[in-house]
Amino acid sequence: MVPADSFREDVIAGLSLPQKALPPKYFYDAKGSRLFEAICRLKEYYPTRSELALMRACIGDIARFAGAAGSAAVTLIEYGSGESMKSRLLIEALRPAAYVPVDISDDALRSAAAKLRRRFPRLDILAVHGDFSRPLKIPMGAGASASSGRRVVYFPGSTIGNLTPEEAHAFLRMTRGQVGPSGAMLVGVDLTKDANVLHAAYNDARGITAAFNMNLLARINRELGGDFRLQCFRHYAFYNAPMGRIEMHLVSLVPQSVNIGDYRFAFGKGESIHTENSYKYSIDGFRALAASAGFRGEKVWLDGKALFSLHGLVAD
């Protein structure tokens, strides 16, 4: 669980904005993480399938890139590791000395770490429960001292797309400092594509994405004593082409007010809470963003349908 105080403060601040908004990192309580895992298995949600296909097809090359320094022990740090599904493939091929999964969802982190310990008994697994948008102390594995080890940051899933380009720039800069001149970064980035494909991926027929979005209101009710009536809101996701992003909102179906502790928020009919952006990039557009943060795009891997990309970045 994230500290209730910062959750409460962020919710009150977000619902007080002229365009009400909530940070997407709060989707991921235990139920939200399970719903996200269900999204990853949906036929409409191509990103997970595409990134896994890309990893399976190119894993030798990806591991060679990540382990480029040869003999130096690698510490593999993964931000937003969730169920560590893709990292398994990378760990098998790269054989790092240590793996540091970082996630805001304690439940997802614990269960992934327990499974990985069974699968890789000799791997040093140092799970960090925390928020990657704030400075975090990242441990080094026992076999990799700060002076001799190579740090590789893995950020798959296009989680970078949930940050604004300004936040993504700051995050890449922070990571560039963290991996140092001999380190590297592997970033999964969803590509700009036909708006119909994007629309289907965020409006699945079974309503799992809608349940994922609505769970944020249920979580506010559960953890902060809010009185959101879920049946009075609906999931709304669309592609904002000029901004190059999918936007997810929760739209009020009626005029209403909602209480959270001593705070009361009024909603007009049709008024929305903006809950998530999911930016889509061109290959060159993402490379330019990485370059502005001190990284050179050395490699890029694509799946067979060119829906998704994995960028291999090195210090410039």
Q: Is 55 in contact with 61 (CB distance < 8 Å)? A: no
Where does residue 301 rank: exposed (0-12), middle (13-18), buried (19+ CB within 10 A)?
buried
Scanning the structure block, which residue is given the tokens 């991926």? Answer: 201
> What's CA 51's distance to the chain center, in Å?
14
Q: How many residues bind ligand SAH (CB under 6 A)?
A: 22
Question: Which spans of this chain sit near ligand AVI (rule: CB under 6 A)?
Answer: 39, 47, 157-159, 161-162, 202, 209, 212, 276, 278
Q: Is 132 in the site for ligand SAH (CB under 6 A)?
A: yes
Residue 161, contacted partner among ligand SAH, ligand AVI, none, CB below 5-8 A by kind: ligand AVI
- Within the chain, residue ranges assigned H as helices are 4-15, 30-40, 46-66, 85-94, 106-119, 165-179, 195-201, 208-224, 283-292
- Which positions from 69 through 128 interact with ligand SAH, judged by CB under 6 A? 80-82, 85-86, 102-105, 108
Beta bridge partners of 150: 74
Distance of closest approach, residue 45 Cβ to ligand AVI, in angstroms: 7
Q: Does 277 bind ligand SAH (CB under 6 A)?
A: no
Binding partner at 105 among ligand AVI, ligand SAH, none, C-beta below 5 to 8 Å by kind = ligand SAH
Which tokens belong to 261?
């502790």
Contact of residue 101 among ligand AVI, ligand SAH, none (CB under 5-8 Å per partner type): none
Q: Which helix (H) or strand (E) holds 74?
A: strand 74-79
86 binds, among ligand SAH, ligand AVI, none (CB under 5 to 8 A by kind): ligand SAH
Which residue number, 124 or 276, has a Cβ lying nearer to ligand AVI?
276
Q: Whose Cβ is closer to ligand SAH: residue 33's or residue 272's?
A: 33
| Shortest distance, position 83 Cβ to ligand AVI, whole Å | 12
Q: Which C-beta is closer to ligand AVI: that of 150 or that of 235?
A: 235
Residue 207 C-beta: closest distance to ligand AVI, Å: 12
**Among ligand AVI, ligand SAH, none, residue 276 binds (CB under 5-8 Å by kind):** ligand AVI
The answer to whether residue 168 forms part of the interface with ligand SAH (CB under 6 A) is no
User: Least distance in Å: CB of 188 to ligand AVI?
Assistant: 9
What phi, psi does 232 have (nearest 5°)?
-95, 10
- The answer to whether 133 contacts ligand SAH (rule: CB under 6 A) is yes
For residue 16, which phi and psi values (nearest 5 degrees)?
-90, -5
To ligand SAH, the closest distance from the beta carbon of 300 in angstroms equals 17
Q: How far apart are CA 29 and CA 277, in angstroms?
A: 19
219 binds ligand SAH, rule: CB under 6 A:
no
From residue 45, how far is each of 105, 109, 200 by CA, in Å?
Answer: 21, 22, 8
Minimum CB–partner distance for residue 144 and ligand AVI (Å) = 28
- Contact between 131 and ligand SAH by CB under 6 A: the answer reads yes
Q: How many CA atoms lie within 13 A of 149 on its CB side?
A: 22
In DSSP notation, 8-73 reads HHHHHHHHTSSS-B--GGGG-SHHHHHHHHHHHT-SS-HHHHHHHHHHHHHHHHHHHHHTTTTTSP
As given in the structure block, the two tokens for residue 176 are 């560039």
Instruction: Among 7, 8, 20, 25, indicate the residue that binds ligand SAH (CB under 6 A).
Output: 25
Binding site for ligand SAH (CB under 6 A): 25, 28, 33, 36, 40, 48, 80-82, 85-86, 102-105, 108, 131-133, 156-157, 159
